[in-house]
Amino acid sequence: MSHQTSKDEKPCCQGADGAVEQRGRRRVIRIAAAGIVAGLQSNLPAAFAAVATELRPHEGDRLAGVAATGAPAPLKVADIAVGAKPVHAFPLDVASATVRDGSRFNKVLLVRLPPASLDEATRARSADGVLAFSAVCTHEGCDVSEWVPAENALLCFCHFSKFLPLDAGKVAAGPAPRDLPFLPLRSVNGEIEIAGAFSAAPGPKKQR
């Protein structure tokens, strides 16, 4: 007498095939996961490098000129002429040779004034007369790039805002709503070193 398989019964070999299929799926998933992890790990150095370039300047960084070519080199106090047009620079992590130029809000302007013209508070955040400020105007985010010797003022050509480096970057004229943030410095073996963070967030509020 023949035996017919009911609808609820499964052939004897179907369970084994199912187990094999399940193991196969798990193996494919493990291989795919391993590939994803390997891909992420291979991209980690580049990802960390990108983040490092965007970090805000902090104590111990040096400064590298924006127009510099070749390997980044720290600017020296002697590189900044007294009363001359401001020099633009980006923070430089000397240990890793990383220039923090991944954000334009890291751009710094350097101007050098006679030490005798600085009051005690201003002299304390200078490097032998070199003062540092954010190079990004607090009005519309243009570069502050010019020096007005007759007024001892920094000038943004976009809308003619003026800032006073001898008065902690105070707005002297124009539509800028906030003072220009300053960056404390010190001189280390003749090199310009950052001694702390910006006094306030750089740039206009709507762009930050």
Using a CB cutoff of 8 Å and minimum separation of 24, what contacts does 96-102 make? 96/52, 97/71, 97/72, 98/49, 98/52, 98/53, 99/53, 99/64, 99/72, 100/52, 100/53, 100/54, 100/55, 100/56, 100/57, 100/61, 101/53, 101/66, 102/50, 102/51, 102/52, 102/53, 102/54
Task: Give the pLDDT confidence of 94-110 residue by residue, as tens digits.
Answer: 999 999 999 999 999 99
Confidence tier at 179 by pLDDT (50, 70, 90)? very high
- pTM of the entire structure? 0.75
Class of the CATH-defined domain 57-207: mainly beta
Q: Does position 38 have pLDDT exceeding 60, yes or no?
A: no
**Per-residue confidence at 136, pLDDT binned at 50, 70, 90?**
very high
Residue 2 has pLDDT above 50, yes or no: no
Q: Which is more confident, 43 or 174?
A: 174
Query: Which two structure tokens, joined as six digits, stand for 77?
Result: 């106090």
Beta pairing partners, 148:
153
The whole-number average pLDDT for the span 133-145 is 96
Q: What is the pLDDT of residue 11?
A: 43
pLDDT at residue number 50: 56
User: Which of the pair, 189 or 67, is modelled with greater confidence?
Assistant: 189
- The residue ranking higher by pLDDT, 15 or 81, is 81
User: What integer pLDDT is reported at residue 72 of this predicted model?
Assistant: 85
* pLDDT value at residue 67: 76
Instruction: Render pLDDT for 50-104 as a digit per residue (tens, 0 to 9).
Output: 577 888 898 999 999 987 667 889 999 999 999 999 999 999 999 999 999 999 9
The yes-or-no verdict on residue 33 having pLDDT over 90 is: no
Confidence of residue 205 (pLDDT cuts 50, 70, 90): confident
